[in-house]
C-alpha cells in the first residue's frame, strides 16, 4: 500500500471531449500525481459497483481521492473536476479555488448541459497513440 494518495479521475472513455481533457491534464500535471481510468473499464466499473453507483451512466466524472484506500472520498461532476485541477498544482490549484466560489448548483447546471451535448459537439473518441508513452502508466483500465 502506497503512503502517497493516488487520486484517480474516472471519465467517459468513449467521449471525445473527455479524452481530450484527460490528455490535457496528463500534459499539465507536471508532478504526475493524477491517474485516469475510463468509467467503462475494469477499474471504473469496480469502483462504481463498490459504492453502489450506476455502472451504466457515464455523464459524470468521478474523482477518487485515493484509489489505494477502500474508504476514500469521491467527488462528482464539477466538484471532481475542481479537485483534479487542484491536484495538478500551481496555477491550476489557484484557478480551482476561484471556481469553487461559484455555487455548486450553478457549476453543475453548466456541467449537465455540456454532458448532454458532448457527443454531438465533440464526437466519440477515436483511439490515437499518446504523445508521451510514459503517460500510459497513469491510465488504469
Instruction: Dump pLDDT digits (tens) for 101-112.
Output: 999 999 999 999
Instruction: Dump pLDDT digits (tens) for 17-66.
Output: 999 999 999 999 989 999 999 999 999 999 999 999 999 989 999 999 99
**Alpha helix stretches (DSSP H) within the chain:** 16-28, 42-50, 77-88, 90-99, 104-122
- Strands 8-11, 35-38: parallel, antiparallel or unpaired by DSSP? parallel
Of the spans 64-68, 100-104, 131-135, which averages the highest pLDDT? 100-104
User: How long a stretch of residues is the chain?
Assistant: 141
Task: Fill in the DSSP letter of residue 10.
Answer: E
pTM: 0.93
Amino acid at each position: 500500500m502506497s503512503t502517497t494518495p493516488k487520486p484517480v479521475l474516472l471519465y467517459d472513455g468513449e467521449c471525445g471531449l473527455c479524452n481530450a481533457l484527460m490528455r490535457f491534464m496528463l500534459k499539465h500535471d507536471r508532478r504526475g500525481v493524477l491517474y485516469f481510468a475510463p468509467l467503462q473499464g475494469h477499474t471504473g466499473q469496480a469502483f462504481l459497483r463498490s459504492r453502489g453507483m450506476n455502472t451504466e451512466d457515464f455523464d459524470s466524472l468521478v474523482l477518487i481521492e485515493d484509489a489505494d484506500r477502500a474508504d476514500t472520498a469521491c467527488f462528482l461532476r464539477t466538484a471532481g473536476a475542481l479537485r483534479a485541477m487542484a491536484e495538478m498544482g500551481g496555477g491550476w490549484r489557484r484557478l480551482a479555488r476561484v471556481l469553487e466560489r461559484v455555487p455548486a448548483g450553478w457549476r453543475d447546471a453548466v456541467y449537465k448541459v455540456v454532458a448532454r451535448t458532448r457527443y454531438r459537439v465533440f464526437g466519440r473518441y477515436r483511439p490515437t497513440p499518446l504523445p508521451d508513452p510514459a503517460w500510459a502508466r497513469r491510465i488504469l483500465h
